[in-house]
């Protein structure tokens, strides 16, 4: 995959900001790739219309050979791929887009997220977990501080919004990278769709920021980097 993809557009999840993908972007740049990392925080401030705003923000940074999304950014990747003209898609420990139509969070996910509601907003993601959890997943204090500082307090109705899946997108050129055990079901579904799956799921979700070199290896695969 990698030798055909020299320009990458990375998509961070709605609950976090671009800092969570910053170390991976830096790693890919060090290997000779061009990487753009849109900031979608304004796009997700309000629930209604957020997928269109997020895709527009990605499109504004220009075309890409490949798009990469982490965690909750997964459902947005088909539309971002179409908007940027990307030929390759990489999902990293991510929620999968629906096979067709639109991606709507399941009842289990919605109930879990709403249990983190504080009045009319959803609490920022780092506040969902017991003390020490985020520190355990992301021990580098500077990176952790940057990631946590960008965490969003989303509207309570955010997960009521369906994310459209284009009829035509590069669905045959998808790689799924599994970092943590929590995304085993998604990895299994990716295999069932005929997608390439890398990673053993033995790490942690925030390895995307804490172990960027290893994640880059999984994202790129065995083909040589451009020179």
Q: What is the pLDDT at residue 190?
A: 98
Q: What is the pLDDT at residue 5?
A: 61
- Structural Rg of the chain based on CA atoms: 16
H or E segment and range at residue 53: helix 50-59
pLDDT in tens, the chain (227 residues): 544 568 999 999 999 999 999 999 999 999 999 999 999 999 999 999 999 999 999 999 999 999 999 999 999 999 999 999 999 999 999 999 999 999 998 888 888 888 998 888 999 999 999 999 999 999 999 999 999 999 989 999 999 999 999 999 999 999 999 999 999 999 999 999 999 999 999 999 999 999 999 999 999 986 433 33
Backbone angles phi, psi at 91, to 5 degrees: -110, 125
Q: Counting beta carbons within 10 angstroms of the beta carbon of residue 131, is it exposed (0 to 12), middle (13 to 18) or buried (19 or more)?
A: exposed
Q: What is the pLDDT at residue 106?
A: 85
Residue 224 structure tokens: 């040589």
H or E segment and range at residue 57: helix 50-59
Residue with tokens 């109705």: 157
Q: What is the pLDDT at residue 107?
A: 86
Q: What is the pLDDT at residue 137?
A: 95
Q: What is the pLDDT at residue 222?
A: 65
Domains and their CATH numbers in the chain = 7-104+163-220 (3.40.50.1820)
Q: How far apart are CA 30 and CA 23, in angstroms?
A: 11
DSSP 21: G
Q: Could you tell me the CA-to-CA distances from 99 to 124, 161, 166, 181, 193 in Å, in that order?
A: 29, 17, 10, 23, 9
Helix axes 212-220, 22-30, angle to 10 degrees: 60
* Ramachandran region, residue 45 (left: φ > 0; alpha: ψ -120 to 50; beta: rest): alpha
């Amino acid at each position: 995959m990698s030798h055909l993809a020299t320009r990458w557009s990375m998509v961070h999840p709605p609950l976090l900001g671009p800092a969570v993908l910053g170390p991976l972007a830096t790693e890919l740049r060090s290997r000779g790739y061009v990487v753009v990392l849109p900031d979608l925080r304004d796009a997700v401030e309000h629930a209604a219309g957020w997928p269109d705003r997020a895709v527009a923000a990605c499109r504004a940074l220009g075309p890409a050979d490949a798009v990469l999304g982490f965690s909750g950014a997964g459902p947005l990747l088909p539309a971002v791929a179409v908007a940027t003209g990307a030929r390759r898609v990489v999902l990293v420990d991510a929620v999968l887009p629906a096979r067709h139509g639109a991606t709507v969070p399941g009842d289990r996910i919605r109930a879990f997220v709403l249990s983190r509601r504080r009045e009319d907003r959803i609490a920022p993601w780092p506040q969902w977990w017991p003390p020490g959890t985020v520190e355990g997943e992301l021990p580098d204090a500077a990176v952790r501080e940057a990631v946590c500082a960008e965490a969003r307090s989303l509207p309570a109705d955010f997960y009521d919004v369906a994310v459209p899946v284009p009829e035509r997108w590069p669905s045959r050129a998808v790689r799924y990278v599994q970092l943590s055990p929590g995304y085993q079901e998604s990895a299994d579904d990716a295999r069932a769709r005929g997608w390439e799956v890398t990673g053993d799921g033995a790490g942690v979700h925030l390895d995307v920021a804490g172990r960027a070199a290893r994640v880059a290896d999984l994202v790129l695969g065995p083909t040589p980097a451009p020179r």
